[in-house]
Amino acid sequence: MNNDIMNSEVQTDLQRVKEFIVDFLDYKKKRLALVSSENHSSKLLRASYCLGLSDQYCSRLPQNREVIDQLAFSNVSPLDNLNEMARAMTMSIFNAEDCDIRLLSGLSGLNVLLFSLLEDHDVLFRVFDGHGGHLSTAPISRRLNINSYDMMLGEDYRLDTDHFAQLYRTAKPKVVFLDSSYILFPYPVREMREMVGKETIIIYDASHIIALVGSGLFQSPFDEGADIMHATTHKTLWGPQKSMILFKHQGAYAKKVHKTVEDLVSNTHLHHIFALYLALLEFKHFGKEYAEAIVRNAKYLAYKLDTYGLNVVASNYGYTESNQIWLDFGSKEDAIEQFKKLAAVNISTNLIFIPRGRWGLRLALNGITRLGAPVQYLDELARILRDIFFDRKDIDSLQGEVQMLKNNLGEPKYSFDDSLFGQELIKLLTGDLSCP
């Protein structure tokens, strides 16, 4: 742009852009995220967005590359190859015979599954909203005229099999959808399969614990009876924000889902598919060690908070086997008060409804584990949380302590970023940003 064209309006607009960038970088520097639905992507993954894949379309499955029909795109063989690579990696890690990784979000995946597999007046079992069920499942079911029944958590914070058996005596589901984001312990998938027989479709939503499932640390849904796994890719997994639908077997369910995706999605964001491939490549080599650290960290932090007098949910059952721990504060008002205290010192969490009519906070360890948090770090985090919840220090002092704690974390671990080959790839991706 010629300097003469750089008028005051242009400068004002660009200054606004600069201010946003500076503000966001400051926000990221200060914020300590203990949120189950977020993670930290590697430098290599972020650099992959510079390749320019976002400028192109290729929404077909690789096996349809020879099909030429209306509005087909020509000369996209590298994009077909990328889709093939990413699909193969996905199926290999999660032991699936088929998958669809074209959808852009978890809610898109939920919509596609309900549209594909259920029809007017079919029966759906899904997790009760107040026990962590996806907040969109019930309203979408109503719009599709699907008969929806709520599954509940039991006294041990696991899915209640006795209640499930009661539901099954009331109605026979076409689909059982384990769609919860409140997950401390594995689901009784094997027992559910025995109750419903072979014809019912069991969908296992692994969005919050997919890294633990992929590492074999939580449970093996396909081995225990699930037909389909659905997961987002940016929670315990550290990928871009996308949806994965995984199928135990190739067949009718997969074909229906693929067809619905083709009907609803015209662009699958190839830059996200490439980023997902890189995330899965990192997970292939570092995922088991990372997943073990998540569970170890979650259990340890829960134990420390328990010793400080916090009401940690499921203390009688070992606290957790996932990335999450829950703190019970009783009333909604008290939980909101504690939520606001954390926000004031730049700690992010989730407010949740806890079974038995109580309210609390969900803390998750996936984000800080990706940043390499050691046991000593968790000791300090537990002490700071105690001081916040019990008002032992003023806000200014606690903000400073949280900032120091955040500064000690550094960059994402469990990645190729520090390797010579990884640095070469980052340079290759970012070295020339010209636009051909």
pLDDT tens for residues 355-407?
A: 888 999 999 999 999 999 988 999 999 999 999 999 999 999 999 999 999 99
**Longest distance between any two alpha carbons in the chain, whole Å:** 77
* Res. 193: pLDDT tops 90: yes
pLDDT category of residue 71 using cuts at 50, 70 and 90: low
Higher pLDDT pick, 261 / 268: 261
| Model pLDDT, residue 237 | 98
Q: How high is the pLDDT of residue 76?
A: 74
Q: What percent of the chain has pLDDT over 70?
A: 95
- Is the pLDDT confidence value at 102 over 60? yes
Span 197-223, mean pLDDT?
97
DSSP type of residue 239: S
Whether the per-residue pLDDT at 289 is higher than 70: the answer is yes
Task: Taking residues 212-227, report their average pLDDT.
Answer: 97
Contact 258, 100 (CB under 8 A): yes
**Closest C-alpha among 407, 410, 413, 402 to residue 380:** 402
Contact (CB, 8 A) for 224 and 192:
no
What is the per-residue pLDDT across 145-158, written as a single tens digit (0 to 9) for each? 999 999 999 999 99
| Res 60: pLDDT | 74
In 50-119, which ranges are continuous DSSP H helix?
77-94, 106-117
Report the DSSP beta bridge partners of residue 151.
127
Please determine, for residue 171, whether its predicted confidence score (pLDDT) is greater than 70: yes
Q: What is the pLDDT of residues 300-338, one digit of tens each?
A: 999 999 999 999 999 999 999 999 999 999 999 999 999
Residues in a beta bridge with 33: 348
Beta-bridged to residue 220, according to DSSP, are none
Count CA within 13 A, CB hemisphere, residue 60: 19
Distance of CA 115 to the CA centre of its chain: 22
> In whole angstroms, what is the distance from residue 431 CA to residue 424 CA?
10
Tell me whether domains 44-281 and 286-407 share a fold: no
Residues 82-110 have a mean pLDDT of 96
Residue-level pLDDT at 403: 96
- Say how far apart CA 418 and CA 44 lie, in whole Å: 10
Instruction: Map tokens 């005051």 to a residue.
Output: 8
pLDDT at 263 over 70: yes
pLDDT band at 434 (very low <50, low <70, confident <90, very high): low
Domains of the chain, residue spans: 44-281, 286-407
180 SS3 class = strand
Instruction: Please determine, looking at this structure, whether the domain spanning 286-407 carries the CATH number 3.90.1150.10.
Output: yes
pLDDT, residue 134, reads: 94
- Sign of the torsion angle spanned by Cα atoms 403, 406, 407, 408: positive
The pLDDT assigned to 433 comes to 58
The angle at the Cα of 188, spanning 186 to 194, to the nearest 5 degrees, equals 155
What is the pLDDT, as a whole number, of residue 152?
96
| C-alpha dist (Å) from residue 249 to 61, 134, 241, 262 | 17, 25, 25, 20
Q: What is the pLDDT of residue 77?
A: 81
The dihedral over CA atoms of 217, 219, 221, 225, expressed in degrees to the nearest 10, equals: 150
Reference 44, options 278, 290, 286; nearest CA is: 278
Kindly state the helix (H) or strand (E) to which residue 342 belongs, with its residue range. Answer: helix 332-344
Instruction: Report the pLDDT value the prediction gives residue 388, as an integer from 0 to 100.
Output: 97
Buried/exposed code over 341-359 (b: 16+ C-beta within 10 A; e: otherwise): bbeebbbbbbebbbbeebb
CATH 3.40.640.10, domain 44-281, yes or no: yes
The per-residue pLDDT for 67 is: 67
d(C-alpha 320, C-alpha 128), whole Å: 20
* 165-168 contacts at long range (C-beta below 8 A, 24 or more positions apart): 165/195, 167/125, 168/195, 168/196
| DSSP assignment string, 392-408 | -S-HHHHHHHHHHHHHT
The answer to whether 189 touches 159, Cβ cutoff 8 Å, is: no
Helix (H), strand (E) at residue 288: helix 270-307
* Higher-confidence position of 267 and 189: 189
